[in-house]
Amino acid sequence: MAIPKEIIIGVTGGISAYKACDVVRQLAKKGYAVTVLMTPEAGHFVGELTFRTLSGRPVVQDMFRQPMGWDPCHIGLADKADAIAIVPATARCIAGLAHAACDDVISCVISATKAPVIICPAMNDAMYGHPGVQENIKRLASFGYRLVGPVEGDLACGRRGTGHLADVADIVAAIEQAVT
């Protein structure tokens, strides 16, 4: 039996974090080994227990947790990843990745990986259109990161515009394409 591909899903603190649950569920159902990384802000929207249940694996929120052996958490995860996707990627996350801030477990893992990285932005349309966010997105694209979305849709603020998280099916397809 083949070893399943290792997919890391980073979840940041945006309202569309609940859709990451479906991404994790679908990937796990397809036989991928899925590890979820969460920022502290993500926990305001979706709980660790939900992701642990859907993935069948521990959730990583703290890169300074005690390792099981000598394997610094972020380096071990970066090395074993076949692909990493950020669902959703907030403006803060995008800025941190664009400038290698390495201030949370997600950005540290991504800065240390050679695996394909998929960024799935989701935020208010005005935030998404901000010149700084657009410049950061261009910078991420120049690193070879793949962007999926955002799309036009209803936003949490009550408006409609580009900033809505891409469809879960499109995100899952992009991840599968990255590991084939």
Active site residues: 157
Side chain identity at residue 71, one-letter code:
D
CA–CA separation, 54 and 115 (whole Å): 23
CA–CA distance from 117 to each of 44, 67, 77, 125, 127 (Å)?
24, 24, 13, 23, 22
CA–CA separation, 117 and 44 (whole Å): 24
For the chain, the straight-line distance linking the first and the last C-alpha, in angstroms and rounded, comes to: 17
Phi-psi region of 56 (alpha: psi -120 to 50; beta: other; left: phi over 0): left
Residues 9 and 33 sit within 8 Å (Cβ to Cβ): no
- Of 9, 14, 8, which is closest to residue 123 (Cα–Cα)? 14
Cα 92 to the center of its chain, rounded Å: 13
